[in-house]
Structure 1
Amino acid sequence: MNIVFLDASTLHSGELDLSVLEQFGTLTCYPASSESEIPERIKSADIVITNKALMTAANIAAAPHLKLIVSCATGVNQIDLHAAKSTGVTVSNVAGYSTPSVAQHVFTYILNFATQIPQFNAESRDWPNFPIFTSLAHPCFDLEGKTLGIIGMGAIGEAVAKLAIAFGMRILVLERQGSPNSTLPELPRLSAEAFYSNCDFVSLHCPLTPDTEKCINTSVLGKMKSSAYLINTGRGPLIDEAALAQALSEGTIAGAAIDVLSSEPPATDNPLITCDHPQLVITPHTAWSTIEARKRLLAGVVNNIETFLEGAPANKIV
Structure 2
Amino acid sequence: MSTPNIVILDAQTFHFPDKTPWAPIEKLGHVTIHDRTESAPAVITERCRDAQIVLTNKVPFDRETLAGLPGLKLISMLATGYNVIDIEAATEHGITVCNAPSYGTSCVAQHTVALMLELCNRVGEHAESVRRGDWVRSPDIVYWLQAPRELAGLTIGLIGLGEIGRGVAERLRPFGCEFIAYTPSRRNGPDWPEFSWASSVEEVFERADIVSLHCPQTADNAGFVNATRLSRMKRGSFIVNTARGTLINEHDLAAALRNGPLAGAALDVVAHEPMLPDNPLRTLDNAFITPHLAWASEPSRLRLIEINAANIAAFLSGKPQNVVNG
TM range (shorter): over 0.9
* Distance change >3 Å, CA 16–CA 101, structure 1 → 2: farther
Q: Counterpart of 2:274?
A: 265
* Distance change >3 Å, CA 44–CA 112, structure 1 → 2: same
Q: Do the aligned residues in 2 keep the contact of 1:147 with 1:200 (CA within 8 Å)?
A: yes
Q: Counterpart of 1:308?
A: 315
Q: Counterpart of 2:26?
A: 22
Of residues 41, 47, 69, the one that matches 1:41 is 47
What amino acid sits opposite 2:102 in the alignment? G
Q: Do the aligned residues in 2 keep the contact of 1:164 with 1:171 (CA within 8 Å)?
A: no
* Distance change >3 Å, CA 220–CA 49, structure 1 → 2: same
Q: Counterpart of 2:215?
A: 206
What amino acid sits opposite 2:320 in the alignment? P
1:291 deviates by 0.9
**Whole-Å separation in 2 of the counterparts to 1:84 and 1:211:** 20
1:82 deviates by 2.0
Of residues 236, 240, 247, the one that matches 1:231 is 240
1:16 deviates by 4.7
**Whole-Å separation in 1 of the counterparts to 2:114 and 2:197:** 25
**Whole-Å separation in 2 of the counterparts to 1:118 and 1:99:** 24
* Distance change >3 Å, CA 194–CA 69, structure 1 → 2: closer
Task: Give percent identity, aligned residues only.
Answer: 37
In the alignment, structure 1 residue 241 sits paired with structure 2 residue 244: no
Q: Which moved more, 1:29-38 or 1:129-138?
A: 129-138
Q: Counterpart of 1:161?
A: 169
1:281 deviates by 0.6
Instruction: Flag structure 2 segments of 5+ consecutive residues without an equivalent.
Output: none
Of residues 113, 117, 120, the one that matches 2:119 is 113
1:116 deviates by 1.5
In the alignment, structure 1 residue 54 sits paired with structure 2 residue 63: no
Q: Counterpart of 1:215?
A: 224
**Whole-Å separation in 2 of the counterparts to 1:114 and 1:248:** 15
**Whole-Å separation in 1 of the counterparts to 2:63 and 2:9:** 16
Equivalenced residues, count: 314
1:194 deviates by 4.0
Of residues 57, 65, 75, the one that matches 2:71 is 65
Q: Which aligned pairs between 1:118-157 and structure 2 lie closer than 5 A? A: 118-125=124-131, 126=133, 127-157=135-165
In the alignment, structure 1 residue 10 sits paired with structure 2 residue 13: yes
1:312 deviates by 0.1
> Which deviations, in whole Å up to 9, do the C-alpha atoms of 1:140-162 show, x marking residues without a partner?
12211111111111111110111
In structure 2, the residue corresponding to 1:281 is in which secondary structure?
strand
In structure 1, the residue corresponding to 2:281 is in which secondary structure?
coil
**Whole-Å separation in 1 of the counterparts to 2:89 and 2:188:** 35
What amino acid sits opposite 2:176 in the alignment? G
Q: Do the aligned residues in 2 keep the contact of 1:10 with 1:51 (CA within 8 Å)?
A: no
TM-score by length of 2: 0.91
Instruction: Flag structure 1 segments of 5+ consecutive residues without an equivalent.
Output: none
1:56 deviates by 2.3
* Distance change >3 Å, CA 241–CA 4, structure 1 → 2: same
Q: Which moved more, 1:180-189 or 1:222-231?
A: 180-189
1:45 deviates by 0.7
In structure 2, the residue corresponding to 1:231 is in which secondary structure?
strand
**Whole-Å separation in 2 of the counterparts to 1:121 and 1:23:** 47
**Whole-Å separation in 1 of the counterparts to 2:321 and 2:275:** 33
What amino acid sits opposite 1:18 in the alignment? W
TM-score by length of 1: 0.93
